[in-house]
Structure 1
Amino acid sequence: MREVIVVGGGPVGILLAGLLAVRGVDVEVLEQRAEPSLRSRAIGIHPPSLRALEQLGVAEEVLDRAVRIRGGVVRSDGRTLGRLAFSATTDRMQSVISLPQSETEAVLRARLAELAPGRLRGGITVTGVSDRGDRVAVETVADGMPSGETLEARYVVAADGARSLVRDLLGIRCTARTGGETYLMSDYPDTGEYLGEAVLYFERDGVVESFPLPGGRRRWVAMTPTLLTDATSGDLAALIRARTGTQLPPTTAAASAFPVQQRLATSLVAGRVVLVGDAGHQISPIGGQGMNLGWLDALQLAPALERALREPDAATSVLRDYDRRRRRSARMAARQAGFNMAMGGPVEGLRLRARNGLVRTLAVPPASAVLARAFTMRWL
């Protein structure tokens, strides 16, 4: 019997498993995918998350692979409305950085393999979870196997994403907060105009955002009126040119359309089963907010589980504290994401001028320092 089983081998599940392994906890990760995903929606890594990566011993490697985002520029109708500086220090641990999720996951997987060899099992589907009082039974089926296997652990963590099967099996409901917006994104060669800066175009037909990536590339994201599942990178480039006047170079990268839903689980703890990351709270993924919020969950949950294992009498208290604090942070993140999406929605006339005036006000001290702190998730 393991001390902890983590269901889900994405960036949040692997980070949590690594943080537990560093603490000497006997942990195993069950991942449905047989091979790592090469999709890279999340790219932003914020200063609080670098603390978690530092605890795992991979912060320097991630920093070396990533590109630093020094600040942000806000534009509308061909004019610059304001600029934000994300960090005035040379301390790399206070940086906002950009690295494709697939590359971040590769670093995390390699570190987990060092700390707990063979404890990341791919091709395993969880079909049932049963809390038996002093342990949790996990029913599983392996790819290509005719029958299943029952595993046991003292605690189980659901890190299996927004469509969490574990959460559904436990009967934990999710409440919708905001959402419904749709976006289209792709990566292009960087034109070099805004080196090291994120750019937000608050245009009348909807926001366009771009973020630097390593290797001379840039991620572009545009709000769309509907979910454009068949759109190409050429279609996105044409949309961006029409809204902002920016001519993007050709790219071989595919376009990806996605909707934004914001939901919060009614509880993150059910007996000996704990929710983490998107399984417990789903917010806008733009800027890596969802991944970073999940990492901050892991940063608090790892010592909480260690204490629950070593001091059983304290388990209820420490897990209740985890639930309270992380649900509060998720509500704050959802409110910020909701504000960001509302600011980026289509507007015209007086509303457009009012929005641009608000942006100009927020982009100067002292409001700019508060805004920069919020965008870099330092308050979570």
Structure 2
Amino acid sequence: MPPAEPRLDHGVVIVGAGPVGLLLGCLLAQGGVDVALCEQRDGDDVRSRAIGIHPPGLAMLDRAGAGAAVRAEALALAGGEVLSRGRVLASLAFPADRPVLVLPQRRTHALLSQRLDRLSPGALRAGCSVSGVRDEGGFVRVRLDAEGRRRELTAAFAVIADGVHSGLRTGLGLGWRRRAGSARYAMADVPDPDVGATALLHCGPGGLVESFPLPGGVRRWVVRAAEDEDVGTAAGFRAAIRVRTGADPAIGSDVVPVAFTARQHVARAPARGRIALLGDAAHEISPIGGQGMNLGWADAGRLDAALRAALADGRADLGDYGRRTLRAARGAQRRSAFYMAMGAPARHGLPLLARELLIRSLGSAPLRPWAAGLVTMRGL
């Protein structure tokens, strides 16, 4: 007789408790699933990261029971303007039935953590490092280090949500394919008492400069770095904004812009057997356009339904989740590649004029609803 399968510690173990892993944890706990989240970080993540919450992401927050708390703290954008050489080329308004909210990721993360703690106290295990995940056929085995001790957890399924640089994804041999789109950027959040509620995107000859209002009188600036340009210092960052837009924000010498390279990748297989990849572990999306976190939340909604169905009927097949996740990621990556192309440095003359004409066309009355749907991730 084959050996009996062990009594499992949990229904699902999630590795990584960023906003996407947390949202899946809330959805599963809300549905009565015994879920544990292992997070290597022990303490708050105060880095300047994702801020945009699009309608599909907000729908998932509502489904997880965190939407009202997010709305209470977030800033609702009135709209956005795209400019070049000091002229407004296109304007979009965001209606109340398809809002675009802005909230620093640390607050979204905190609100989701609070929601999970109400649903399942103790489900989140901070300071817990996972060194391996293995599919044993009838269950999964998760190896972890916590409080200086090594131990194992067993579960029906494991979800890898530990980010773009996931070592577990590599160890499982699930692959990482490069997709179109790559550029260098820097960003910083600075006080601005006149921040307003309109996002500004400057797509001039020197390259993209984004300006987003944040709650509490703060503005986020994002600058695309031209070749050999240093925007990683306060002086260089401020100079690039001044030259490209004419604005001269009060960015003190103590401000250290966060520099990053936007790349795009997708896993060859977001799911295999009893193990699934989620969020940035499944796909890397350029943050230009604000799609990564929202796409991850949409993934979490799909995976929640797939996991609960599999737990109910004893299946181990998450293939449909994997296929749908790949389709959604590829669509988001195409949008991001387009956004990056619109924000690339452009020579004066025909290349710049052609881009400005395209932006004007997208902002025209016939195409404006389609453009607004593109920006707000309609159809995700």
Shared fold (TM-score greater than 0.5)? yes
Distance 1:32 1:123 in 2: 5
**Could you tell me how far 1:226 is from its partner in structure 2?**
5.3
Counterpart CA distance in 2 for 1:230 and 1:187 is 14
Deviates more, 1:225-234 or 1:202-211: 225-234
**1:21 is matched with which residue?**
29
Q: Aligned in 2, Cα 1:22/1:223: closer, same or farther, shift over 3 Å? A: same
Is the CA contact 1:156–1:272 (under 8 Å) kept in the aligned structure 2?
A: yes
- What is residue 242 of structure 2 aligned with on the other side? 241
Aligned to 1:207: 208
Partner secondary structure for residue 137 of structure 2: coil
Tell me what 1:332 maps to. Answer: 331
Q: Which runs of 5+ in 1 are unaligned?
A: none
Q: How much does 1:96 deviate?
A: 0.3
The DSSP-based 3-state class of the residue aligned with 1:329 is: helix
Alignment RMSD (CA, Å)? 1.6
Give the superposition deviation at 1:228.
7.3
* Equivalent residue, structure 1, for 2:221: 220
Aligned to 1:11: 19
Counterpart secondary structure, 1:9: coil
1:121 aligns with 2:125: yes
Query: In 1, Cα distance between the equivalents of 2:324 and 2:279?
Result: 13
Return the alpha-carbon distance in structure 1 between the equivalents of residues 182 and 54 of structure 2. 25
Normalised to the residue count of structure 1, the TM-score between the two structures is 0.94
Following TM superposition, by how much is the alpha carbon of 1:253 offset from its aligned partner in structure 2, in angstroms?
4.6
Residue 362 of structure 1 and its aligned partner are, at CA, apart by: 0.7
Structure 2 CA distance for aligned equivalents of residues 54 and 36 of structure 1: 23
Q: What secondary structure is seen at the aligned counterpart in 2 of 1:151?
A: strand
* 1:321-357 alpha-carbon deviations (Å, 9 max, x no partner): 2111111010000000001001110111210011001
Q: What is the Cα deviation at residue 178 of structure 1? A: 2.1
1:90-145 deviations in whole A, cap 9, x for unaligned? x4xx31000000010000001111111111111111111111001100111124x1
CA shift digits 1:349-376 (9 cap, x unpaired): 2100110011111101221111110111
> Residue 202 of structure 2 aligns to which amino acid in structure 1?
Y
1:97-176 mapped onto 2 (5 Å cutoff):
97-143=101-147, 145=148, 147-176=149-178
- How far does residue 232 in structure 1 lie from its aligned partner after superposition? 2.6
CA 1:170/1:228 → structure 2, altered by over 3 Å: closer, same or farther? Answer: farther
Higher helix share: 1
Contact 1:157 1:274 in 2 (8 A): yes
Is the alpha carbon distance of 1:58 and 1:155 closer, same or farther for their aligned partners in structure 2, counting shifts above 3 Å?
Answer: same
Deviation at residue 231 of structure 1 after TM alignment: 2.3
Whichever residue aligns with residue 259 of structure 2, its letter is A
- Structure 2, unmatched stretches of 5+, are 1-8
Residue deviations 1:191-236 (CA, integer Å, cap 9, x gap) = 63x7211111011111111111000111110100358788233431
1:1-380 superposed matches below 5 A: 1-87=9-95, 89=96, 91=97, 94-143=98-147, 145=148, 147-190=149-192, 192=194, 195-225=196-226, 231-251=232-252, 253-313=255-315, 315-316=316-317, 319-348=318-347, 349-380=349-380
Q: Distance in 1 between matches of 2:66 and 2:234?
A: 33
SS in 2 for 1:6: strand
Q: Identify the residue that residue 5 of structure 2 maps to in structure 1.
A: none
Matches of 1:304 and 1:116 in 2, distance apart? 20
Q: Retained in 2: the 8 A contact 1:7–1:13?
A: yes
| Greater CA drift, 319-328 or 3-12 | 319-328
CA drift at 1:5: 0.1
What secondary structure is seen at the aligned counterpart in 1 of 2:37?
Answer: strand
| SS of alignment partner, residue 284 of structure 1 | coil
Could you report, residue by residue, the CA deviation over 1:260-282 in whole angstroms, capped at 9, with x for unpaired residues?
A: 11000011111100011000010
Is contact 1:227–1:257 with CA below 8 Å preserved after alignment? no
User: 1:137 touches 1:153 (CA, 8 Å); kept in 2?
Assistant: yes
Looking at structure 1, the residues matched to 332 and 120 of structure 2 have their Cα atoms a distance apart, in angstroms, of: 32
Cα distance between partner residues in 2 of 1:229 and 1:119: 43
The residue type equivalent to 1:298 in the other structure is: A
Instruction: Give SS of 2:286's match.
Output: coil
- 4+ long deviations beyond 4 Å: 226-230
1:71/1:197 contact within 8 Å kept: yes
Give the residue type in structure 1 aligned to 2:33.
V
My pick for the range that moved more, 230-239 or 101-110, is: 230-239
